[in-house]
Amino acid sequence: MFVDIAKIYLKAGDGGDGAVAFHREKYVAAGGPDGGDGGRGGNIVFQADTNISTLADFRYKRKYAAKKGENGRGNRQRGKNAEDLIVKVPLGTLVKDAESGRIIADISTDEPVIIAKGGKGGWGNPHFATPIRQVPRFAKPGLPGEEMEVTLELKLLADVGLVGFPNVGKSTLVSVVSEAKPEIANYHFTTITPVLGVVSMGEGSSFVMADIPGLIEGAWQGVGLGHQFLRHVERCRMLVHIVDISGSDGRDPYEDFKIINKELEKFNPELAKRPMIVAGNKCDMCTDEQIDEYRKYIEDMGYDFFPIMAAIRYDVDPLLKKIQEMLSKLPPIERYEAEPAPVVKAEDFTDHSVKINKVDGIYTVEAKWLYNVMRSINFDDYESFNYFQNVLTKNGVFDALREAGINEGDTVSLYDIEFDYVE
């Protein structure tokens, strides 16, 4: 099954927690804190694999999570960084943010790309030692890894895209000029997946040709199979428009040419500007006058015209030579630049806002930053609890409670912890 679009969820590994430990050695009194820092969580890395040609695997596995970094240990031993999770995708896969549509990466080379970064490891307790607090019994937990939902969109990497109505000979041409062997039959929509073929021109020269199936009138709006596959034309450096000039299916080759060009333009106006040549297939079923008339019609619009018989490779070589000549003057296959992430304002890093709600006489404190701080606190240890109170004071939690009208003896709820307020 050919699948060229998929949506998946990514969760990079959380950082390992810092350790609370103290140095113990014979004849060494009060060795002091020596808890190690936690290791980094695993990144999620995307890498192209030329053995994969579809996104079908992502229909069955939609969640990818990297491992957490190792926790720190005593003797200042830092936890190991978690291994990166490698996700293999077809060459030419665009990774987009599912919510905004922002392009995160274009996997069009064999270079691995980090899509979601693992969280940093937390600090061990030596980082919190001061001349006054010499025995800190708390450490920092690791930071969470990035998580996101992304859309994968496959845009084939091909030099030449063959476009035209079904059953005009696109698949036949690919089969006679390359090693690709698409299914071919005398009915519409024989080809329901894009087919790539490498065309060898001798002396180490070659180019990649793609049969883009399913184009009919209304394809840009989703009619037929066209909307599903038009995206694969976007990377092509040039187009070859194949027309059945014999009108063997009762079609009008003049009208067909106009319709396909309009579909390309409506889907993406840039496609209308793409270099293009026209191949008139099944010319053995036309008179010389018909061929000459159609040639004039095409050339008057500024395109080169080549009458061919793809099934027996008649006059196909001049077409290939013209393609090779044009490609030598065209820029390389388009690569999409990653779009910058939304600018994070400085206040976002220091957003220690606090929300106070009073429910049934209990003052509930809500603060995004608070939960992570509480994970590092040992509430059974005086110094650790004192450190926590200082954090609440510096970040305005007590001020917010006073503004909310709290009185001494009232109950305060901090997530799973409740205590009585004392001035």
pLDDT in tens, 192-245: 567 788 898 887 788 999 887 755 554 444 444 445 566 777 888 999 999 999
More confident position, 421 or 147: 147
Model confidence at 71: pLDDT above 90: yes
Residues in the chain: 423
Q: What is the pTM of this model?
A: 0.70
Residue-level pLDDT at 180: 66
Cβ contact 95:105 at 8 Å: yes
Quick one: which of 70, 11, 66, 69 has its CA closest to 41?
Answer: 69
What phi-psi label fits residue 202: left (phi over 0), alpha (psi between -120 and 50 degrees) or beta?
left
**Residue whose pair of structure tokens reads 């220690």 in the numeric block:** 352
- For residue 42, what are its two tokens? 């695993």
**Burial category of 290 from C-beta neighbours within 10 Å (exposed 0-12, middle 13-18, buried 19 and up):** middle
* CATH number of this structure's domain 1-154: 2.70.210.12
* Nearest-5° Cα angle at 51, 47 to 53: 85
Q: What is the SS3 assignment for 18? A: coil
SS3 content of the chain, % helix, strand, coil (to 5): 25, 25, 50
Q: Which residues contact 156 (CB under 8 A, 6 or more apart)?
A: 92, 194, 196, 210, 232, 235
Q: How far is 389 from 383, CA to CA, in rounded Å?
A: 10
Domain spans of the chain? Answer: 1-154, 160-327, 350-420
Q: If you average pLDDT over every residue of the chain, what do you get?
A: 84
Give tens-digit pLDDT for 72-100: 999 899 999 999 999 999 888 999 999 99
Task: Say how many Å lie between the first and final Cα of the chain, rounded.
Answer: 68
More confident position, 63 or 56: 63
Q: How far is 252 from 246, CA to CA, in rounded Å?
A: 9
Give tens-digit pLDDT for 167-188: 888 888 988 898 766 554 444 4
User: At 128, phi and psi to the nearest 5?
Assistant: -105, 5
Q: How far is 222 from 218, CA to CA, in rounded Å?
A: 7
Quick one: which of 167, 319, 178, 173 has its CA closest to 238?
Answer: 319
Sheet of 160-163: strand order equals 195-200, 206-211, 160-163, 238-244, 276-281, 305-307
Instruction: Kindly state the average pLDDT of the residues 282-296.
Output: 92
- Name the CATH superfamily for 350-420: GTP-binding protein OBG, C-terminal domain (3.30.300.350)
The CATH topology of domain 160-327 is Rossmann fold (3.40.50)
| Helices assigned H by DSSP within 90-138 | none
